[in-house]
Amino acid sequence: MKIHRLLGIIIYLLNHEVASSRLLAEKFEVSRRTIQRDIDAINLAGIPIVSIQGSPEVREKVAMQREPEISFNYMSSFDREINTELFEKPDLAMGPYIDPQSNRRFKLDINVYLIDGCLSVEIEYNKKQYHQETIQRLGTEFENQLKDIVKHCSESGQNTIHTPSDFGARDLSINDFDEIMNMLDQ
């Protein structure tokens, strides 16, 4: 099924970062042209995948030169860690994580965490590189996308689709995972 293959490609690339179309074609038992069409479909869905033509040495060299431009850090829930006998949540706002005068490693630092059951998102950026309105639009779009995800998940009811990473099984193929899930359903 195509959707399983697309999800499988995404999961594989998240875990391996670099893969040739030949390797993906062998892994998913389809042609290289099918993999190229799948990569186009994934890109059209808004998940960026960079394709590099050339020998494996050229691809590896180019891939190693890439530096991420965005840092996304989900720090989980602080409710359990903060509200204990040793610690309590302060009433004061937190200051910046890094010195504003220091060089930034990433163009955007996005930090997400839960406090008191509320999702908090902080976007740090270079004010000389981005306008505040641009970052506000990014934050609003991020919030809207999260709301859409929550709505979809809450409306889907029992039709929840799991992936191997939901259970910490990142190296398990999507096909093997589906077989295990089908055996459990019987």
What are the structural domains of the chain?
Answer: 1-66 (1.10.10)
What confidence category does residue 134 fall into, taking pLDDT thresholds of 50, 70 and 90? very high
- What does the chain come to in residues? 186
Q: For 78-173, where are the alpha helices, taking DSSP H only?
A: 79-82, 132-156
What confidence category does residue 6 fall into, taking pLDDT thresholds of 50, 70 and 90? confident
pTM of full prediction above 0.75:
no
Q: Please determine, for residue 132, whether its predicted confidence score (pLDDT) is greater than 90.
A: yes
Tell me the per-residue pLDDT of 64-111, one tens digit each, with 9 for 90 and over: 666 778 888 877 665 555 556 666 666 666 666 566 667 777 888 888
pLDDT of res. 15: 82
Distance CA 87, CA 68 (A): 35
What confidence category does residue 20 fall into, taking pLDDT thresholds of 50, 70 and 90? confident
Distance CA 106, CA 129 (A): 12
Top-confidence range, 57-66, 109-118, 119-128: 119-128
Query: What is the mean pLDDT of the segment spanning 35-42?
Result: 88
Distance CA 91, CA 35 (A): 53
Q: Please determine, for residue 35, whether its predicted confidence score (pLDDT) is greater than 60.
A: yes
pLDDT of res. 108: 87
Contact 12, 24 (CB under 8 A): yes
pLDDT of res. 136: 94
What confidence category does residue 135 fall into, taking pLDDT thresholds of 50, 70 and 90? very high
Contact 15, 35 (CB under 8 A): no
